Every structure is written in C-alpha cells, then in structure tokens.
Amino acid sequence: MAERDKFAFEARKVWMQSLLEDRWKVQRIMEEQGRIMAKMEAATNALRRDRAKAQLVMEAQAEQLKTWAARSAQLQTQRDALKKELRELKAPRIRRSTAERISREAARMRRRIQRFWRSAPESPALAPPLPSPPPPEDRYSAWIAKHEPDKIALEEQRQKASQFSWRPKISLLIPVHNTPRNFLDKLFASLAAQTYDNWEACIVDSGSGRPETAKILKQWGEKDRRLRIERLSANLGVSENSNRALAMATGELLACVDHDDLLAPFALFEIARAIIESPQADIFYSDEDRCTIEGKRHSPFFKPEWNPELLLSSMYLGHLTAYRRELVERVGGFRKEFELSQDYDFALRATERAKAIRHVPHVLYHWREHPASGSGGGKPEARKTNLAALSAALERRGLPAEIIEYPTANRARLKISDWPKVSIVIPTDSAERAQLCIEQLPRMTSYRDCEIVIVTNSALAKVLEVAAPNEPFFRFVHYDKPFNFSEKCNLGAVAAAGVRLIFFNDDVESGQCDWIENLIEPLENPEVGAVAPKLLYATGKIQHAGLVTGVRGLVGTVCHQWPGDSTDYINFAQSMRTVSALSAACLAMRREDFFRVGEFDAVNTPVAHSDLDLCFKIREAGMRCVYTPFVSMKHRGHASIGVVVEADQISPRNKSSVFLLKRWAGYTCHDPYFPANMRDWLYVDSPTPIEMWGRNAPATTVSKADVLFVSHDLSWSGAPLILFQIAKWCKEAGFFVTAMSPKDGPLREKFREAGIPLVVDPLVVTGHPSFTAFAQEFDCVIASTIFGAPVIRAAGSADIPHLWWIHEGRVAEHYLSKDSALREALAMADLIVTPDTRSSQVYQPFSDRPVRVLSYGIPDPSAKVQPAPRSETKPIEFLLLGTIENRKGQQLLLEALRKLSDDVLQKTRFRIVGRAHDPAITEEIKRAGQKSSYLSYEDGVSPDAALALIRDTDVMLCASWDETGPLILMEALALGKPILSSNVGAVAEYLSPEAEGLFFSPGDADALARGIVRMALEPELRDRLSRNARRSYEKYFSFENFAENFVNLLMEAISSRKERRATDKARAA
C-alpha cells in the first residue's frame, strides 16, 4: 500500500512539474508576442513616415483621374455625334421576314452558348496537368552544356597540355575481340580527339574471327602510330589479354578501356593534370555515364572521393581508372581466377597498397549499352567472381567475414566469435517515450549481453525505476539541469558498463531482432570509428542514410525521402558507405574511442550539431564514419536531423552552426563523400546551387563577436575589395568572421588564403528564409552596397543586429525613386554607414537614425611595390584606372584631350585601364587610341597589377561623375603620386585643393584640360603634390584608423540592438 501511495505521490509531482513547465511556456509565448507587437509598431511607424509621400501621389493620381474623366466625356460626345452622322448617311433599313429573324436569333443563341463554355473555368479534373520536371536525359543534357568544355575550351586545353612542365605518358590497355566496326571506329576517333596527346593505346586482338575487326585495326594503326597492336592466335580471356596489353605499355600511367566504350575528348587531359597536381597519389578515377548505341548519353554516375566501404559493396571506381606504373608492378597483373571481375580484384589489391587515391570530378568515360556489355546486364557470370574477389580481399586484410550476395550489392559481414557487452544510452525527459523504451527495447533485440542506460530527470527516473520490468537490465542516471543532449549522453556513457556504446533516441524503433549485431559488427574493423543505421519515417521513406555537409543549412541527409528499398543511383541507399557524419539518433561507437576523441561537446553543441562535432572528431582521429543499410529503424518523433528539443528547454542563442564554421569549416564546407557533382545531382532538399570554402581550426577560442559579412559579388571592384580587407582585419583582431556572396569571383581566393569561411549562395539577396536561419546565429550582419537591401530587411525582421555599409553615392537616387523596398530597408536599418558626407545626405531623408560617415582606409600598398626610377626625358604619364562606364568619366577625358594643344600632347601620355562594362564607351576609347600616339587602352587588371601601374605613372586621374572614395586615389596618395580629380568622394572632401591635389567640377572638360596642362608644364606643382601625397594618406586614409573606427561602429550596432531588445522586453512585461 505504501509503495502504491509513494508511486501516486511521485506521479502527482511529475504532473505538477508539467503544469509549472506549461506556465513557463505561456510566459515565453507572451514575451514573444510582445516582441512581435513591438516589431509591428516599428513597421507601422515606417509606414507613417511614407504617408505624406503617399498622400502626394494619391492627390496627383486624383487630378489625373479628373482629367481623364473630362477627356472621356468629351470623346463620348464626339463619338455620339459621329454615330448620328453615319446613321443619316445609311440607306433605309429593309425589314427581314419572320423566318429570317428566327434563323438569325438561333445562330446568335448558338454563338452565345459556345462563348459561355469557352469562358467557363475548367474543373480541376479537366484542367491541364502541371508541368512535370524535365526528363533525366534533358536534365543531363543541360548539365553537360553547363559543365563540359566547348570547342574553344578544348582548344585552350590543347595549348595548356603542350606547356605542361611534365607530360606523363598514359598507356591505355584495350583488349579487342570481334568488336563491331562502328564501335572501334568511334572508340579510336575518341582517342584521336584527345586534347592531351602524350598517350599510347596498347591493343590486343585476341584472335578475332571477324575479318572486319582486323581490317579496322590495321587502318587505324596506319593512321595513328600511337595505336600499338598485337594479334593473338586465340582468345586467352579478358584477364590474360589485359596482361598482354600491360606488357606492351611504356607509360607512367596505365588505364583500362573497354573495346566498345568511349572517352570524353578531355579525358586524358584531366588525368594528366590530376597526376601533376597530386604527385603523392597512385590511383586516379573519374566519373562516368552511359550511352546508347546511337550515342545518346544518360545516367551519369558522379562518384564520391575515396570511399573504402563503398568499394566493398561494389566496384564503384569503374572507369576511367588510371594507376601509376610503380603501383601496378608492386601489385602484379590481372588474375585469371577472377575472370570478368579482374578489374575489381585488381582495384581491391591496388587500393590496399596505394599511398593516396585521387578522384577526378569529371565525366571522362562513356559506358556503351548493348546486349553483350556489362552495362546492359550481359555478364551475369561476373557476379560469382565479384564475390570471390571480395572474399580474398577480406582474407588478406585479416578480417574474417561471410560474403553475402545481395541483388545489386555485396556485403562482407564480419565474423565475431566473442560478442562484446553493449550499453544503449537513451537521453530523455518524455515519460511516455521512456516508458515505451522500457517496455519495447528488451523485446526488440535478441542480443544477450546489453544494458539500457536512461538519462533523465530525477522525478521521472524514480517513476521509471519502479516500472522497469527487469532491474538489472536497466540503469538510470539522474540529470536535473536544463536540457543538454550532449551532456546527458556523456553522463550516460560514463555510467555505462558496455565496451560498445549505442546512443539512442527515445523515439527510434526497430523491427529487427538482430539490429544490435548488425549495427556494431563494422566496429570490428579498427579503422571504423562510428556506425549508424538507415532511419525511416513512419511512411517508410528514408530520413537518414548518412549526413551530408556543404549544403544549404550546412548539413542535410543523403537519399532523403527516397523509398526505403530504393535501388536508385547504383543502389546507393542499400550500400554500406563511408560518410562525412552520422545522426546521433542511433549511433554506435567503441567506448574507448568515444572518450579518446573527447565525447560530445556539451558547451558548443549542447543540442544541435552535436552528432556532427563528434563525427568530425572521429575523422580527425583518423577513423571513418560508416552508414550501414543492414539495420533499418523507424524514427517516429520528427522529420529533422538529430534531436528536436522544445524551445523553452534550450539556450535562446543557438550558435552551433557558427561553432562548426569556427572549428570544422573544412569538414562543414566540403563533403568528400558527397562532392559537388553528386550534391547538385542528388540533393533535393535545397537544389539551388551553393558553394562553400573553409578550413578546420586546431581549436576554438572565444571571439569578440561573430560577424557575417555579405558582399554583392566577389569581383576586384572597390566595394568587395574593401570588405575583404576589413573582414581580414577583424579576423586578425579576434572576431570570428564569415563571408557570403550571391556571386563567385576572383576575390574568393583571397578569402580562402585568409582562412575566412566563404559561402556563395544566390539566395542570399532574395529574402529566402535559409539566409535568415543561417544569419541568426551571428552577433552582427554587415551588408555591403545598396544591393544589400534584402539582407538588411531579413536581418531587421529577424531581430539580428546589422550594419549597412553603402558605397553608392548620387547614383542611388535613381534606385530610391523607383524601389519602395529599398526605402523600407533604409527606414528599418539599425546603422547606415557611408564613406563621405555627400552620399550620407542621399540616404538621410529615409531614416530616422543619423547616417554615419566613415571614410575608407586602405592597407599601405608601399610594401607591395618598390619605387621605380623615372627618366626626366620621358613624357608625363597620366593614368585613369577604373571600370569602363559612364559614371567613371572616360569620355570626359577624351573630350579634354581634344582641347589640348599639340605641344602639350607631345609631352604627355595617357593610359585608360579598366574592365569593359559599357561596350559602346570601350569602343570609343579604342578608336581614339588607334588615332593617336598619346592614348592607350588596356582591359581590367588584378589589384597587384593595378598597383604596379599606379607606381609607374606620374599623375593619377579621376574623372568620375560620382564617387564615394575612390580607393585608387587613396592608393596613389600612399605611393606619393599627385592626383587630378573631379571633386567628388571622400578624397575630394578631405584634401586641400592646390596643396594636396588638383580638383575640378564633374563634367567640366575645360577644367580637366587646364589641370592636365598645369600638371604637364609645372614640375614644381607635381613635386609639391607628390611630397604632400603620402602625408595626406597617413593623415586621412590609413587603414588602422579606419579599421578601429569601423569596429567601433560594429560594436555600436550590436549593443544598440541589445538595448532595444531590453527595452522591448520591458515594454512587453
């Protein structure tokens, strides 16, 4: 009786605790509603600010309506008068007979009915179906057009190949037997078309009975001496025929080619380039596809990087695979006992001895489909030797295994004589799910030596201890802190007695009684560090078949929503594979490895991404993460990755994604087992292309703040370049910095060299929710240029501190007059910063907060370029450097040159350098240069080349109509160059005319011409301006002062948003 009362009392305690938790949830909801109301109030204020403008527009529209109404009435009067005049001109009407009138009305009725049915909306059943996605063939054709080189690119490859510092010979081993003429013709034509020409084809004709085979071999052999042909009297089998070809080979690299297949024209170029770039690698393998007899390409097989477990499942290396000669000699030739699987046996032996294996991510091989080929299923006897080759490999490696034949894959099930003790660790706070685990788990497994460790709060643990049916089978660990999945798992592992640990969600179920045996069996291989099963939704669709990184949101799932028994993509979901990471919903490890790599990270990944961090530690320790399809579990609780936790149980600032980028950017941004081609072809959860770059850090340190910089592109233009420079400075000053851009460009390499994680995502500036979800973990978002408006709107709507760094000056007035979304973004921006006072005045009317002015600063370029000696007899050189467009004023310079005397022109030279943005202006400059000896034009150059041009010039020109800098003038000042510029931008704002520079009004060609004359004829002016230039740079535009002021604004943006949050919270309370 006392026991029952005690149980009832404990149950009431749990019930009361639940009520209190519900009350806290209600409070949290009310606070959230308060924040939402505050945001709505801010939005309403923004609308009120536009009310006066809207009223003016409405009044103007009302006046227009009045005018239109009067004009319409006038036109109607004129129309009525015209109708009357026409009626008077018509002949008298002839009255029709009754029969004619009835016939006419019947025809009218028929037409009306037809019009009615034509205009009636179609019912859903009769409506045309929605357009279906393009067939795979059409999709692949589009992929080919986008990714493979065209004729021009192929010709460029030929030029590059001829200039390789090392040109290794590639020997192609081609056994031939009764091959049809059209197959051989097309194969040899594909060899002849190679853009890399240092190859040989070692062809062995194994006693072909077809006369046409010998004839075509002779014809091609006479045409191209690189085709070396040996004829055998009898067919010795594929293995021995290949060995004969191997004996003929003289190349440094050896590759097998089937006699009925094709090579891409760039195949050997990519193989040669790979061996040059990876001198440590011994094996090189490419992607491939299939082609019909007619030559139609389809079914691409984009492959992962080196994947040991996948090779045990099938011969995924396939074609085109090339081996170094030294490795082939160590391994030996092809073995006849594995006939028809001799390439699989060779690959298994070779990969055991290779120092490194390189995947070449290009489709280099076209596997022809016809009834007798392996691609068409024409070699069923190869299955036996395939399994035999796998058995021999496991035996060589000292891993006793049972080789099992599955319909489209192999399985090497390791034999275990002494099954270890297993501890199943379940972190939970759900009474219902915990009770189900207690009832069902013992029945879900036939494994003899296991225990279940449940980590939960004390109240629930006491209830469960009473309810547990078999006390020794269960172990309970009390945990009464706020929910922390990682810490709970760590405590459970400490308490566990097993030498194998299985971390197990409380909502995972299995119908397999041998699921534990199948899950822990791969751990007998010491190179495997963790194993996870196939997880299915209740619908039977795949939730997890391994995790993939380098996707939008940083992490996703492989084969997501595929049918659980899918054999798509070379049986991918049913093949054991090495993967980048595994879900901790069900994950097995060796106990000693778990503690050796450092357990789950309870500080940086308390809930989200805890499994990724653990798996990355495993990979860093030199072990592999393995997905096994031989265990299928139902994951009933939710459809997201890992563990879903209610919002009131976790910290309000989840920064686990930021932590992944801080510590594991290399693993997070690139997935070797799901590289770009595979991802773009197979990943369906967010198919819009995305690219990421980063590198792992040895350890994380506490940063001053986590900052996300968003650039409108990654070109060499001023705004992206100055953003990179300040981002790099912030990183070196102790901030954690990540950069994003909707477009790729040459500046990408600078970010990579600086160790700054970079994401190129076209959805960044579209208002897509994926950007908001990513940005929320950062302390501040910095958007660059006026095109960052969508970023600012997203950040403001999500309550993310932000700074809008706008580089455009008067040119923005055009956008502001037409784009209400841009005006709205300005109104809601936390902090707007512009480089000069004039540009700040453009934006101030649209914001209630003061627009701040911070002039640019640039890193001192004098260390990069050495001063160049100048000849006094040389003409005075003027340099105008910038993108060719109307705003930059190149046409103004041409007009000014026409005003100069011949005497001045003889003493001067003018260089216009810039990327051709406006073709018409570019052509005008080129024509002017062709007509004169004093003017030249060059296309855009890199920043380092631009600095060299500035160093070598005598006078730096700027003829822009609108600028906020410009940076090139600051670089010229730093290098001690006199400047002649229109008086726009920060340089003109800060420098004193005559003492520190010469200035003229924008568009004034006469003033520009006078300035040129003075610079050309007054050497003392040039000398004075040159002496003062460096001092002006140090005084106004040094990078150190600029960076410190920028960081002050950055911290102000963060703190001001925090203050507003506190105020909003107080108002809500």
Contact between 782 and 1050 under an 8 Å Cβ cutoff? The reply is yes
Q: What CATH number does the domain located at 701-853 have?
A: 3.40.50.2000
Q: Mean of the pLDDT values across residues 704-713?
A: 96
Two structure tokens written together for 629: 């399809």
Q: What is the DSSP letter of 50?
A: T
331, 435, 480, 481, 648 from 429: Cα distances, Å: 56, 11, 10, 11, 13
Contact between 966 and 987 under an 8 Å Cβ cutoff? The reply is yes
* Strand 227-232 to 199-206 pairing: parallel
Give the residue carrying structure tokens 């790729």. Answer: 744
Cα(991)–Cα(997) distance, integer angstroms = 7
Is the model more confident about 370 or about 602?
602
Mean pLDDT lowest for which of 125-129, 911-915, 981-985?
A: 125-129
Contact between 291 and 369 under an 8 Å Cβ cutoff? The reply is yes
User: What pLDDT is attached to residue 941?
Assistant: 87
Whether residue 76 is predicted with pLDDT greater than 90 in this model: the reply is: no
User: What pLDDT is attached to residue 651?
Assistant: 46
Q: Is 451 exposed, middle or buried (0-12, 13-18, 19+ CB in 10 A)?
A: middle
Whole-prediction pTM value? 0.82
Q: Among candidates 859, 681, 690, which has minimal Cα distance to 758?
A: 690
Indicate the pLDDT class of residue 444, thresholds 50, 70 and 90.
confident
Whether residue 124 is predicted with pLDDT greater than 50 in this model: the reply is: no
Helix (H, G, I), strand (E, B) or coil at 499: coil
Two structure tokens written together for 834: 């512009």
User: What pLDDT is attached to residue 209?
Assistant: 86
Contact between 581 and 618 under an 8 Å Cβ cutoff? The reply is no
Q: Mean of the pLDDT values across residues 248-255?
A: 96
Indicate the pLDDT class of residue 993, thresholds 50, 70 and 90.
very high
Q: What is the pLDDT of residues 832-870, one digit of tens each?
A: 999 999 999 999 999 999 999 999 999 999 888 877 776
In DSSP notation, 461-488 reads: HHHHHHH-SSGGGEEEEE--SSP-HHHH
Q: Among candidates 327, 168, 328, 171, which has minimal Cα distance to 249?
A: 171
Helix (H, G, I), strand (E, B) or coil at 171: strand
Question: What number of helices (H) and strands (E) belong to the chain?
Answer: 38, 37
Mean pLDDT lowest for which of 159-173, 627-641, 892-906, 953-967?
A: 627-641
Say whether 866-1037 and 422-649 share the same fold. no
Cα(1033)–Cα(1014) distance, integer angstroms = 23
Q: Mean of the pLDDT values across residues 662-679?
A: 96
B/e letters for 822-855, b = 16+ CB within 10 Å, e = fewer, are bbbbbbbbbbbbbbbebbbebbeebbeeebebbb
Contact between 269 and 154 under an 8 Å Cβ cutoff? The reply is no
On the CB side of 831, CA atoms within 13 Å amount to 24
Q: Mean of the pLDDT values across residues 486-497?
A: 97
Q: Mean of the pLDDT values across residues 81-104?
A: 52
Mean pLDDT of the chain: 87
Q: What is the DSSP letter of 304?
A: P
User: What pLDDT is attached to residue 8?
Assistant: 54
User: What pLDDT is attached to residue 672?
Assistant: 98
Taking residue 894's Cβ as centre, other Cβ atoms within 10 Å add up to: 21
B/e letters for 509-537, b = 16+ CB within 10 Å, e = fewer, are bbebeebbbbbbbbbebeebbbbbbbbbb
Q: What is the pLDDT of residues 756-778, one digit of tens each?
A: 999 999 999 998 999 999 999 99
Q: What is the pLDDT of residues 788-836, one digit of tens each?
A: 999 999 999 999 999 999 999 998 998 999 999 999 999 999 999 999 9
Cα(415)–Cα(280) distance, integer angstroms = 35
Q: What is the pLDDT of residues 327-360, one digit of tens each?
A: 999 999 999 999 999 999 999 999 999 999 999 9
Whether residue 91 is predicted with pLDDT greater than 50 in this model: the reply is: no
Contact between 167 and 272 under an 8 Å Cβ cutoff? The reply is yes
Domain ranges of the chain: 157-384, 422-649, 701-853, 866-1037
Beta-bridge partner residues of 634: 509, 536
* Cα–chain center distance at 702: 27
866-1037 CATH fold: Rossmann fold (3.40.50)
Q: What CATH number does the domain located at 157-384 have?
A: 3.90.550.10
Tell me the percentage of the chain whose pLDDT exceeds 70: 83
Q: Mean of the pLDDT values across residues 945-968?
A: 94
User: What pLDDT is attached to residue 37?
Assistant: 55
Architecture of the 422-649 domain: Alpha-Beta Complex (3.90)
Q: What is the pLDDT of residues 192-211, one digit of tens each?
A: 999 999 999 999 999 888 88
Amino acid, single-letter form, for residue 413: R
Q: What is the pLDDT of residues 869-889, one digit of tens each?
A: 766 778 999 999 999 999 999
Cα(802)–Cα(1056) distance, integer angstroms = 10
